[in-house]
Amino acid sequence: MANQKSDEYPVIWLQGAGCTGCSVSLLNAASPSIKNLLIDELIPGKHISLRFHPTVMAGAGVKAIEAMEETEKKGGHILVVEGAIPADGAFGSVGEKKGKPVSIPSRLESLAQNAMAVIALGTCASFGGIPAANPNPAQCLSVAQALKNKSITTLVINVPGCPPHPDWFMGTVASILLWGLPKEEELDEFRRPKAFYGKLIHEHCPRRAYYDEMKFAKKLSAPGCLYELGCKGPITYADCPLRQWNNGVNWCVNSGGMCIGCVEPGFPDLMSPIYQKMASQPEKKEV
């Protein structure tokens, strides 16, 4: 592979109102690993060039911002956004321009404008998530909404989860490298790749047999279906029960901690109180 020029896919990773948990989740990727993503060709002949990522990059300050802005100028990059977008720019900024802080929403607008696609990574970027929870003190929006408000039409792919599974991100990126941007029919009604969000947790849950036999756990840590303790598996679409987490060692329901619906647009408000049985089971949709 040495000395062969790869196709470079420049990536800018913008952090908005978030907690860096999406980045840490990506660091937990097993195969491909973060090393494969950063250093190797993720797909033979194709390499991700991570031009800006606040947690990982060596450079800081002006040098980091210059690297971001040069990539932005050339265009054609993949923009990954982690965290929600505060509608009022006063609540967050990244870097300066002529001695004045540049707000997160204005960074988003200029970075999205010329991008090949935007990956809204995590539930905050996809739907608003935790910072947009009632009363939404920083007036946070999803990336798609923030761009829509500015009539920016770059394709947005939502890869939600609090945090998202690293495979969901790697798979979304690898798919772009292999086959180009996703077709509309490959995304669900919330613009999530069906490949990862097409299955209902409840239908593939290892505790499903308990549910069918109406054997419900009476308290946390007990065997049985967690539905009556508040599990949101019946309304949550993700492949966690099949894929499992952290290199397959465990996942929420398996640990008795139940599904809290973290990939859904209503997280956290529509999923709370977390430890309370859902008022009614919403209608099922086709999978």
Partner 1 sequence: MGRIVIDPLTRIEGHLKIEAVVEQGEVKEARSSGTLFRGIELILRGRDPRDAQRITQRICGVCPTSHSIAASLNLDSAFGIADKIPDNGRIIRNLILGAAHIADHILHFYHLAALDYVDIAKVAKYEGKDPALSSIKSFIERRELAPFLPRYEGDYRLEKKVNLQAVAHYVQAFDMRRKGQEMLAIFGGKIPHDAAIVPGGVTEVPTVDKITSFLWRLNELREFIDNVYIPDVLAVAQAYSDYFEIGAGCGSLLSYGSYDLDGKEVDLIKRQRLFKPGTISTNLKLARLDPAKITEEVKHSWYADTTTGRKPAAGDTIPQTGKDGAYSWVKSPRYEGKVYEVGPLARMLVTYASGNAEVKSVVDSALAQLKASPSALFSVLGRHAVRALETKLIADSMPGWLLSLKPGEPVYTEYEIPEEATGMGLVEAARGALGHWIEIKKRKIANYQCVVPSTWNFSPRDDKNQPGPLEQALIGAKIKDEANPIEIGRIIRSFDPCLACAVHLITPKGRSLGEFRVS
Catalytically active residues are 19, 22, 124, 162, 202, 205, 225, 231, 240, 252, 259, 262
Q: Read off the tokens for 29.
A: 């990727």
Closest separation between CB of residue 260 and partner 1, Å? 6
Shortest approach of partner 1 to residue 215 CB, angstroms? Answer: 17
Residue 74 in contact with partner 1, rule: CB under 8 A: no
Is the previous residue joined to 160 through a cis bond, with omega within 30 degrees of 0?
Answer: no
Establish if 27 lies at the interface with partner 1 (CB under 8 A): yes
270 binds partner 1 (CB under 8 A): no
Question: Are 18 and 164 a contacting pair, CB within 8 Å?
Answer: no
3-state DSSP call for residue 72? Answer: helix
Nearest to 145, CA basis, from 122, 126, 123, 169: 126
Check binding of 276 to partner 1 (CB under 8 A). Answer: yes
232 lies in the binding site for partner 1 (CB under 8 A): no
Q: Does 257 bind partner 1 (CB under 8 A)?
A: yes
How near is the Cβ of 223 to partner 1 at its closest, in Å? 9
Query: In this chain, which stretch among 111-119, 149-157, 201-209, 253-261 interacts with partner 1, using CB under 8 A?
Result: 253-261
Instruction: Return the number of other C-beta atoms located less than 10 Å from residue 122's C-beta.
Output: 34
Q: Which of residues 84-113 bind partner 1 (CB under 8 A)?
A: 86, 88-96, 99-101, 104
Residue numbers 152-211 binding partner 1 by CB under 8 A: 162-163
Report how far residue 121's alpha carbon sits from residue 175's, in angstroms, rounded to the nearest whole number: 15
Sign of CA dihedral 83, 88, 93, 97: positive
Interface with partner 1, residue 241, by CB under 8 A: no
Q: Would you state the torsion angle of the CA atoms of residues 171, 177, 180, 181, taken in this order, to the nearest 10 degrees?
A: 50
